[in-house]
Amino acid sequence: MWLSPQDRQGYRPHVTIQNKVMPDEAQQLYNQLVSEWKPFNGFGEGLMLWHYQNGPWSLVREFSFMQNESELNISAPIRK
């Protein structure tokens, strides 16, 4: 297999809007997305916040929307 170590990690679907750009370019995209955004319905079990450190990524915090393994509660408190 010819994948880099970063790409050989397990499947974790995610959304990247933009990275590795200057702040003014990020602001331009933000302004465009805000003006064009169309709300939609979706489902999520939680959120993992990562910090890019010029190469490696480090996990900052996990936000779970689950009260337990079988129940989804969108208003559940954020857990560290």
* pLDDT band at 29; cut points 50, 70, 90: very high
Contact, 79 vs 62, CB < 8 A? Answer: yes
Q: Which one-letter DSSP state was computed for residue 24? A: H
pLDDT tens track for 9-18: 777 777 788 8
Calculate the average pLDDT of the chain.
Answer: 80
Residue spans of the domains in the chain: they are: 49-80
Q: What is the pLDDT averaged over residues 41-64?
A: 85
For residue 39, is pLDDT > 80?
A: yes
Q: Which one-letter DSSP state was computed for residue 6? A: T
Side-chain half-sphere exposure of 17, counting CA atoms within 13 A = 11
Q: What is the pLDDT averaged over residues 7-31?
A: 86
